[in-house]
Copies of this chain bind each other. A is one copy, B any other.
Amino acid sequence: MTKMLNEPMPVKTECSACPLRLMSRFREFEDAELEFISEFKAGELAVQPGTGILEEGSNSPHLFTVLSGWAFRYKSLSDGSRQILNFALPGDFLGLQASVFDMMDHSVEALTDVTLCVFPRDKVWTLFRQHPSLAHDLTWLATAEERVLGAHLTAVGQRSAPARIAFLLLHLYERCEPMNLAGGDKLLVPFTQAHLADVLGLSLVHTNKSIRKLTSNELLRWDKGLVTFLDRPKLMDMAEMSDATPAKRPFI
């Protein structure tokens, strides 16, 4: 399933014209910051679904920002099972661990066609020295990831199967909505129910039956990857979620 990683291609997307920057969700950059990032960026990488982007235990010389597409972080266990830790969406940063610890403790794989900005790890230190605001943004991104993992852990540790599913789908809606990947109570999910099972710590069979329970109760629809929320209040209630509006986020 996992394919080889291609060599980075020349830059196609100028940072000054970065499509992510147009999204209302992202913070604006100073000229100096933009200039540094432009210089920081080594190239672009386009990978196909199923391609491994980072490998657990490895020590990639590259860091990535997702420009487009979906990926997912996961840990493999020796019995063949895996835990998906989180999905990575446009604007998310991949490989910070390799930079800080010289070692990934999880892998990352492309779920759809993915475009990545590529950065050389050995320039991260320059970022910290010359651009404290961007260093702060990196800390922001690391902390944001920590929050998501804490939320997932709470869902998996404390909630029933249908509640976990409701939680994850609503959570993804909230993350997708600001970049126009979701809207009008509709969310296009590029993953299979097997992926969902691995996120939520459930078996595939039970995941499927729980989804069926949610659909037959008219709480949501799930049609070939298109999820529609039919009763958002009830779903949010079972998932124990409130609808706080998130602040503007940074990205590198």
Residues of A at under 8 Å CB distance from B?
A: 73, 75, 77-78, 81-83, 85, 96-97, 100-102, 105-106, 125, 128-129, 132-133, 135-136, 138-140, 142-147, 149-154, 156-158, 200-201, 240, 247
Contacts and interface: CB of A to CB of B under 8 A. Distances in A.
The copy count of this chain in the complex is 2
Given A138-B139, A153-B156, 16 more contacts: A75-B150, A75-B154, A81-B158, A83-B154, A85-B150, A97-B146, A100-B140, A101-B140, A105-B150, A128-B132, A128-B133, A132-B132, A139-B142, A142-B142, A146-B149, A158-B201
A142 B148 CA distance: 13
A247 B200 CA distance: 31
A136 B129 CA distance: 9
Classify the secondary structure of A's interface with B: helix
Nearest to A130: B132
Contacts of A78: 240
Given A153-B83, A158-B77, A147 B240 contact: no
22 contacts: A73-B150, A75-B154, A77-B158, A83-B153, A83-B154, A96-B139, A96-B143, A97-B143, A101-B140, A101-B147, A101-B247, A105-B151, A128-B133, A129-B132, A132-B132, A132-B135, A139-B142, A142-B142, A146-B146, A149-B153, A156-B201, A157-B201
Contacts of A82: 158
